[in-house]
Amino acid sequence: MPSAESNHWNYVIAADMPVSEDWSFARYLGSRLNVSFRVVSADGRAHVPRWRRIMIYVVMAWRLFLHHRQMEVLVSWQQFFGLVFASLCQLFRVGKRTHVIVMTFIYRPKSGWIGRLYRWWVRRTLTSGYIERVLVFSHHEVDYYARLLGVDARLFHFAPLAIEMEDVEDIADDGYWFSTGKSNRDYEFLINAVAGTEHRLVIACDELPQPAASNIQVHHHAFGEQMLQLMGRSHGVIITLHDEHVSSGQLVALQAMALGKPLIVTRSQALADYVQDGVHALVIDKTPPALLQAMERLNQDTDLYHRLSVASRERFAGHHSIGALARDVASLLEHPVCTSHS
């Protein structure tokens, strides 16, 4: 990697959340590589309507593509910024100048002709030669995506997810259980299991209607600080997932760990790199008896509750800092791996 100071578009990080040029990830990564990164961002997170997210992906990718002649490094924090950028490079057959790192990669197979077209596009883009590496947040996904998409596994690289936690002033235990997130969540199972029991459950999810059960409350439009306040006042956090192979749930797990909130999670390959059963969480089979038993266990066993809380805080502090993630990304840029593209 060159050590000279970058100009305006030589080194770029593209994010789908409001961040500044002084974003800690950009500072850590730039310090590691001895360059200055330009941060470009547009809010394309899950709470934004799908049609608008798609428009943001395309507009941002075009904006990046207009500067491809200057760009030496593009770190795409949002996967579709990098994928569409690489697709445009392939479409217009430009010479490869940019080292593209695609982060937060998730691929979910779709059905029908749309699914076949989507798989063809993702595979074609990944094997175009314009993408250096793809970052995934679980070991399992390296071989899983390689097999699913028929690409070289060396294209994928595992790095633990890292987050910056906002300050949560109101950390307490109001006795309710908390769940949140949209991607790959099995709220139908969670609600059916808890409805009508003595356990109180609070869920933060825009797309979920209020269930009839009086012991369950759904919050809409609870994002960022408001969501963390709800989590901070909970007794513990529950994550129930549909597909155990798909990367999801890690962000919520890390937020709970940072707050010292014990976790109950259904078995998932995506979470296996983050929590150990009986150490940082209770990992359960996705059955109502298993879930209710885990909730009762944490209600009654105060020693276990305390051990999970302390171990979670320690793991978060030691393994999931933004600086550690920046080191992983810098290493990929410092030591590129050539894969055979087809």
15/158 same-domain check: yes
Query: Tell me, what's the pLDDT at 167?
Result: 67
303/328 same-domain check: no
Structural domain for 304, as ranges: 177-319
Query: Tell me, what's the pLDDT at 246?
Result: 81
Residue 220 in contact with residue 247, Cβ under 8 Å?
no
The neighbouring-strand residues paired with 204 are 180, 219
81/199 same-domain check: no
Query: Tell me, what's the pLDDT at 45?
Result: 67
- The domain that contains 107 carries what CATH number? 3.40.50.2000
185/150 same-domain check: no
- Per DSSP, the residues of 297-328 read HHHH-HHHHHHHHHHHHHHHHHH--HHHHHHH
32/100 same-domain check: yes
- Total number of domains constituting the chain: 2
Global pTM value: 0.79
327/186 same-domain check: no
Among 86, 76, 70, smallest CA distance to 131 is for 86
Query: Tell me, what's the pLDDT at 342?
Result: 42
Q: Name residues of the chain where pLDDT drops below 70.
A: 1-7, 44-47, 167, 169-170, 336-342
32/57 same-domain check: yes
15/129 same-domain check: yes
132/39 same-domain check: yes
142/84 same-domain check: yes
255/327 same-domain check: no
Query: Tell me, what's the pLDDT at 3?
Result: 40
Query: Tell me, what's the pLDDT at 7?
Result: 52
Query: Tell me, what's the pLDDT at 270?
Result: 84
Query: Tell me, what's the pLDDT at 53?
Result: 85
Is 261 within the bounds of a domain?
yes
